[in-house]
Structure 1
Amino acid sequence: MRQYITRRLLQMIPVLIGVSFLIFMIFTFAPGDAVSSLVAAHPNMSAVKIAQLRHLYHLDEPKLVQYGNWLVGFLHGDLGQSVKLNQPVSHILNTYIWNSFYLQLVAFIISTIIAIPIGVISATKQYSFFDSAFTVFALIGISLPSFFMGLLLMKWFAVDMRIFPVSGMTSAGMNYKGFKLLVDIAQHMFLPCLVITLINVSSLMRYVRMSMLEVIKQDYIRTARSKGLKEKVVIYKHALRNGMIPVVTILGMSIGTLFSGAVITEQIFAWPGIGKLTVTSINDRDYPVLMGINMIMVVFTLLGNLLADVCYALVDPRIKLK
Structure 2
Amino acid sequence: MRQYITRRLLQMIPVLIGVSFLIFMIFAISPGDFVSGMISPHMTAAKQEQIRHLYGLDKPKVVQYLIWLRNAVTGNLGNSYKFTQPVTTVINTYLWNSFYLQLVSFILSIVLAIPIGVLSATKQYSFFDSFFTLFALVGISIPTFFFGLLLINYFAAGLQWFPVSGMVNTGSTATGIAKFIDVLHHMFLPCLVLTFASIAGFVRYVRTSMLEVIRQDYVRTARSKGLNEKVVIYRHALRNGMIPIVTLIGMSIAGLFGGAIITEQIFGWPGIGKITMDAIYARDYPLLMGINMLLAVLTLLGNLLADVCYALVDPRVRLK
TM-score by length of 1: 0.98
Matched with 1:177 is 175
Q: Counterpart of 2:3 in structure 1: which amino acid?
A: Q
Distance in 1 of aligned mates of 2:215 and 2:152: 43
Query: Which of 88, 112, 115 is equivalent to 1:114?
Result: 112
Matched with 1:197 is 195
Matched with 1:320 is 318
Query: Which of 65, 79, 82 is equivalent to 2:80?
Result: 82
Matched with 1:33 is 33
Matched with 1:130 is 128
Distance in 2 of aligned mates of 1:43 and 1:185: 43
Matched with 1:168 is 166
Distance in 1 of aligned mates of 2:53 and 2:38: 14
User: Pairwise mapping of residues 1-322 of structure 1 onto structure 2 (< 5 A)?
Assistant: 1-39=1-39, 42-322=40-320
Q: Counterpart of 2:186 in structure 1: which amino acid?
A: H
- Per the alignment, in what secondary structure is the counterpart of residue 162 of structure 1? coil
How many residues are treated as equivalent by the alignment? 320
Aligned 8 A contact 1:158 1:165 in 2? yes
TM-score by length of 2: 0.98
Q: Deviations over 1:261-318 (max 9, x none)?
A: 1010000000011111111111111111111111111010000000000000000011
Q: Deviations over 1:6-63 (max 9, x none)?
A: 0000000000000000000000110000111112xx3312334322221121111111
Q: CA deviation at 1:73?
A: 1.2
**Bigger Cα displacement from structure 2, 141-150 vs 83-92:** 83-92
Distance in 1 of aligned mates of 2:81 and 2:138: 42
Q: CA deviation at 1:222?
A: 0.3
Q: Deviations over 1:163-196 (max 9, x none)?
A: 1111000100121111100000000011000100
Distance in 2 of aligned mates of 1:98 and 1:178: 17
**What's the % identity of the aligned pairs?**
68
Q: Counterpart of 2:123 in structure 1: which amino acid?
A: K
Distance in 2 of aligned mates of 1:156 and 1:312: 44
Distance in 1 of aligned mates of 2:253 and 2:82: 29
Following TM superposition, the consecutive aligned residue runs of length 4 or more in structure 1 with deviations greater than 4 angstroms are none
Q: CA deviation at 1:112?
A: 0.4
Q: Counterpart of 2:202 in structure 1: which amino acid?
A: L
Unpaired stretches in structure 2, ≥5 consecutive residues: none
- Per the alignment, in what secondary structure is the counterpart of residue 254 of structure 1? helix
Unpaired stretches in structure 1, ≥5 consecutive residues: none
- Per the alignment, in what secondary structure is the counterpart of residue 229 of structure 1? coil
Q: Deviations over 1:192-246 (max 9, x none)?
A: 0010000000000100000000000000000000000000000000000000001
Distance in 1 of aligned mates of 2:51 and 2:304: 41
Distance in 2 of aligned mates of 1:314 and 1:56: 53
Q: Deviations over 1:101-149 (max 9, x none)?
A: 1110110011100000000000000000000011111111111000001
Distance in 2 of aligned mates of 1:268 and 1:207: 28
Q: Counterpart of 1:62 in structure 2: which amino acid?
A: P
Distance in 1 of aligned mates of 2:168 and 2:175: 11
Distance in 1 of aligned mates of 2:80 and 2:41: 20
Q: Counterpart of 2:259 in structure 1: which amino acid?
A: G
Q: Counterpart of 2:138 in structure 1: which amino acid?
A: I
Q: Counterpart of 1:33 in structure 2: which amino acid?
A: D
Q: Counterpart of 1:214 in structure 2: which amino acid?
A: E
Distance in 1 of aligned mates of 2:159 and 2:135: 24
Distance in 1 of aligned mates of 2:13 and 2:53: 30
**Bigger Cα displacement from structure 2, 206-215 vs 154-163:** 154-163
Aligned 8 A contact 1:35 1:83 in 2? no
